[in-house]
Amino acid sequence: MQAVNRLKMLAIGVSNMEAAKEFYGTKLGLQILSDYRQDDSHWWVTLQIPEGGITVTLTTYHANTKPGATTLWFVTSDLEASYSHLSDAGLNVNDIKDDLYGPGSGVKFFNFEDPDGNLIHIEQG
């Protein structure tokens, strides 16, 4: 018996929803699927990579999430182009490095933080 079949959603605590929507939607290119706001402390925005897959929900409701406590890994088919695009968009990206998964793994990557300090890795895939 397999207890679960797939990961559906990941929640990320944010302190400023407008800045987070700009970052994840405009700069990273995720599509906004829903934007539900009761008030500034109860606001959820769900995004997804255009090709589909797991959704990312940004939330200002911090009962179970804390801004700056999440690490995300994204994959790109063209690491150099992604690096240039995000650098040109004004993000403070770190240099491209080798061996994301340890010595000899050969996986090239770079990383940076979102407006709340959540760490984002972009790896060649």
Say what the pLDDT of residue 115 is. 96
State the Cα–Cα distance between residues 83 and 28, nearest whole angstrom: 11
**Strands 42-48 and 31-39, bridge-based pairing:** antiparallel
Could you say which DSSP state residue 88 is in?
Answer: H
Give the tokens for residue 93: 């990206």
DSSP 115: T
Q: What's the pTM?
A: 0.89
> pLDDT, tens digit, for every residue of 28-83?
999 999 999 999 999 999 999 999 999 999 999 988 788 999 999 999 999 999 99
Give pLDDT tens digits for 76-120.
Answer: 999 999 999 999 999 999 999 999 888 999 999 999 999 999 999
Would you kindly state where each structural domain of the chain is located, as residue ranges? 7-61, 69-125
Count other C-beta atoms under 10 Å from residue 84's C-beta: 12
Identical fold for domains 7-61 and 69-125, yes or no, is yes
SS3 111: strand
Check whether domain 69-125 has CATH 3.40.50.2300, yes or no:
no
Strand, coil or helix: what is 38?
strand
CATH of 7-61, one of 3.90.950.20, 3.80.30.20, 3.10.180.10, 3.30.70.3290: 3.10.180.10
